[in-house]
Amino acid sequence: MKIVFMGTPMAAVPSLERILRDLHEVVAVYTQPDRPAGRGNKIAYSPVKEFALKHNLPVFQPIKIKTTEALEEFKTNDADVAVVVAYGRILPEGFLNAFSKGAINVHFSLLPKYRGAAPVNWAIVNGESRTGVTTMRMDAGLDTGDILMMRETGIGKDETAIDLMERLSLIGADLLSETLESYDGLTGRPQNDDAATHAPIMKRGDGLINWERTAMEISNRVRGFQPFPSSFTHYKGQKLTIWKAVSVSDSEFRESREREVLEANGDCLIVSCGQGTLLKIEELQIEGKQRLATRDFLNGIKLQIGEKFGGL
């Protein structure tokens, strides 16, 4: 098939790579405009653009897509179908209907659950044990199109959103390959809108830890809010980011109050959370310093029993 591929982050690269390996013709690659990144604010290419250029694929990066000019340029690619994997913009209806076979989306959840921009993150945050990938025929709604194929997988108890996204991107590439191979014979299955949940893009403030939550809820947020917005609190006026933490049980500390340091010795840093639950912090980072394992962190910062996190 002749394909226009639309994607931006690393999670989209395996799908584009698989399309080439399956010997489809990629007539154009659409990706987000280059943006400043890093401390030096140097202009950075998206991972999809980098891959496309290495494989001599034509790259388009329109600043605006809701214009007549953008649509006309899109149509000139004369493809059979558009394939969209985490492009980062809601496509106008004209784009979805530009080619004879429409547009296919690879979505990293088991639709209709977790429609929206951040399904992988919110699945972990909400404590889901299973997730997956869905290919769907796109329509004008937000992830509301008919389901073509679906593949399910478990979520590891220690798996972060970064780890899970990497794994799902490979599953998604395989599922897309199967979808394209069988596309003409597939009958889309309508979604049950009553079962839909929303996975909005995360905001920086989502990462601020509410110590009244249970330790399990906080540890899920630590795993789910990576790489952004991360999970953070404050200690003596400085931002303290928690990168790895687990919920533990210990009846000795049941009468403690939320956000109180109960143990800080060697590899053991335990903080009290809501409903008498306990969080063991295993990796953390004080503002302006390196990310460290608990033992190394405590060697440099002498936390005292009874001190509290969360104060500015």
Are 123 and 259 in the same domain? no
Are 78 and 164 in the same domain? yes
- The residue among 142, 176, 195 that closes a domain is 195
Which residue carries 């076979």 as its tokens? 101
The pLDDT of residue 42: 82
- Output the 3-class SS for 37-104: ECCCCEEECCHHHHHHHHCCCCEECCCCCCCHHHHHHHHCCCCCEEEEECCCCCCCHHHHCCCCCCEE
Q: What is the C-alpha separation between 209 and 231, in angstroms, rounded?
A: 6
Do the beta carbons of residue 145 and residue 137 sit within 8 Å? yes
- What is the count of structural domains for the chain? 2
- How confident is the model over 116-128, as pLDDT tens digits? 999 999 999 999 9
Are 19 and 70 in the same domain? yes
- Residue 312 in any domain: the answer is no
Q: What is the mean pLDDT of residues 38-53?
A: 88
CATH code (residue 108): 3.40.50.170
**C-alpha distances out from residue 201 to 6, 57, 163, 173, Å:** 19, 30, 18, 23
- How confident is the model over 75-112, as pLDDT tens digits? 999 999 999 999 999 999 999 999 999 999 999 999 99
Question: pLDDT band at residue 43, thresholds of 50, 70 and 90?
Answer: confident
**C-alpha distances out from residue 130 to 93, 110, 147, 168, Å:** 32, 9, 18, 12
- How confident is the model over 201-215, as pLDDT tens digits? 999 999 999 999 999
- Residue 67 in any domain: the answer is yes
Are 129 and 231 in the same domain? no
CATH code (residue 231): 3.10.25.10
- How confident is the model over 95-105, as pLDDT tens digits? 999 999 999 99
What is the per-residue DSSP string for 106-174? EESS-TTTTBSS-HHHHHHHTT-SEEEEEEEE--SSSS-SEEEEEEEEE--TT--HHHHHHHHHHHHHH
pLDDT of 302 above 90: no
pLDDT, mean over the chain: 94
The pLDDT of residue 232: 98
pLDDT exceeding 90 applies to what percent of the chain? 91
Are 144 and 275 in the same domain? no
Q: What is the mean pLDDT of residues 29-34?
A: 96
Beta carbons within 8 Å of 177's beta carbon, 6+ residues apart = 18, 19, 22
- How confident is the model over 143-194, as pLDDT tens digits? 999 999 999 999 999 999 999 999 999 999 999 999 999 999 999 999 999 9
Q: What is the mean pLDDT of residues 264-283?
A: 94
The pLDDT of residue 95: 98
Are 44 and 188 in the same domain? yes
| One-letter amino acid for residue 294 of the chain | T
Which residue carries 């034509």 as its tokens? 58
Backbone angles phi, psi at 110, to 5 degrees: -95, 90
- Output the 3-class SS for 222-270: HHHCCCCCCEEEEECCEEEEEEEEEEECCHHHCCCCCCEEEEEECCEEE
What residues make up the domain containing 163?
2-195
Q: What is the DSSP letter of 296?
A: H
- How confident is the model over 237-250, as pLDDT tens digits? 999 999 999 999 76
Beta carbons within 8 Å of 225's beta carbon, 6+ residues apart = 121, 125, 161, 202, 206, 207, 231
- The residue among 195, 220, 241 that closes a domain is 195
Q: What are the residues facing 232 on neighbouring strands?
A: 208, 241
Do the beta carbons of residue 164 and residue 124 sit within 8 Å? yes
| Structural tokens at position 234 | 């404050």
The pLDDT of residue 254: 56
The pLDDT of residue 256: 66
- Residue 308 in any domain: the answer is no
Q: What is the C-alpha separation between 131 and 230, in angstroms, rounded?
A: 21
- Residue 40 in any domain: the answer is yes
Are 50 and 154 in the same domain? yes
